Amino acid sequence: MADAKQMEEAEASASHSLPATSEQDRELALRATHEFDAGDYESCLATITKLAATRGHDLKVMHNQAVAAYYKSGLTKTDEFKRALAELYSKVSDLYLTFPFLSNYNIFFAQIILRN
């Protein structure tokens, strides 16, 4: 369990690396979710790319962009998807070593599945 000092450090680190989420960012994220759920991966990827313009270092945005691109390819560009996940994994691993109470199970889970 993280103590208060670790939590403050994590929040300070996150606040320095990412801008606050704007209403426009939330709308883009919601639209991308709806497009993905509807199977419109091309539109979803375009929307996430717009979101990445302001939140390009947000690991969730990077993860969702990789997933949308993979689905847009018809799940055929597995090597590109693996490379994107490996890049995310290294970033998450660095954060996890600094703040061990953080978790990003989606990326780790995807890494395990693609290795098998």
What band does 87 get if pLDDT is binned at 50, 70 and 90? confident
Count other Cβ atoms within 10 Å, centred on residue 49: 16
72 occurs within a structural domain: yes
Whether 9 is in a domain gets the answer no
Question: What pLDDT is recorded for position 25?
Answer: 94
The structural domain count of the chain equals 1
- Is there a domain that residue 80 lies in? yes
Give me the numbers of helices (H) and strands (E) for the chain, helices first please. Answer: 6, 0
Quick one: DSSP state of residue 7? H
Any domain includes 6 = no
Q: Is 31 within a domain?
A: yes
The position carrying tokens 């199977």 is: 39
pLDDT, one tens digit per residue, over 16-68 is 456 788 999 999 999 999 999 999 999 999 999 999 999 988 888 998 999 99
pLDDT value for 86: 87
> Does residue 16 lie within any of the structural domains?
no
Phi, psi torsion values for 19, nearest 5 degrees = -70, 160
**Tokens linked to 81:** 């998807």
Flag whether pLDDT at 2 surpasses 50: no
Q: Which domain holds residue 77?
A: 22-115
Mean pLDDT, the chain, whole residue set: 78
The CATH number of whichever domain residue 96 belongs to comes to 1.25.40
Predicted local confidence at residue 15, as pLDDT: 43
Q: Is residue 15 part of a domain?
A: no
Task: Answer yes or no: are the C-beta atoms of 102 and 96 closer than 8 Å.
Answer: yes
Residue 104 resides in a domain: yes
